[in-house]
Amino acid sequence: MAEHNDFGKMGEEMAQKHLLAKGYKIIATNWRFGKDEIDIVAMHNSFLVIVEVKTRSTNFFGDPEEAVTNKKKKFLVRAADAYINIHNVAEEVRFDIISIVVTGPHWEINHIEDAFYPTIN
């Protein structure tokens, strides 16, 4: 596996630990529908939470969450729609982003709840 894939995997594991510590229940990780993927599917209170994780070694070129483009949001919404239909989800759905910047041994986690709302385009 390429080094950047290992780095991203470490970020996703850190995001899962963060969510568990906040009382979230992890339902699925790396859930795929066709080419679309949801990093983390979780439950929190009465919400199904779709989480996109972005991990970077620096924020020199911008914060990691800025990499969640409109195109990526469209893919996440499409995957979430498939997940909801396949699993007959009745709960409200929320889209969160967890951005992680790693500087040496220090991990800075920014959990953005309700990071975006699905739009029809």
* Residue 16 covered by a domain: yes
Look at the chain and report how many structural domains it folds into: 1
Angle at 85 between CA 81 and CA 88, to 5 degrees: 130
* Residue 69 covered by a domain: yes
Question: Residue 25 belongs to what domain range?
Answer: 3-103
* Residue 108 covered by a domain: no
* Residue 119 covered by a domain: no
Give residue-wise pLDDT tens across range 74-110: 999 999 999 999 999 999 999 999 999 988 788 899 9
CA atoms of 121 and 101, how far apart (whole Å): 31
* Residue 50 covered by a domain: yes
Q: Give the pTM.
A: 0.90
* Assigned token pair, 88: 């007959």
Q: What is the pLDDT of residue 8?
A: 73
CATH number at residue 56: 3.40.1350.10
Burial of residue 71, with CB atoms counted within 10 A of its CB: 0-12 exposed, 13-18 middle, 19 or more buried: exposed
CA distances from 76 to 1, 31, 39, 106, 109 (A): 24, 11, 9, 29, 21
Angle at 39 between CA 37 and CA 42, to 5 degrees: 120
* Residue 76 covered by a domain: yes
* Residue 81 covered by a domain: yes
What average pLDDT does range 46-60 have in this prediction? Answer: 89
* Residue 121 covered by a domain: no
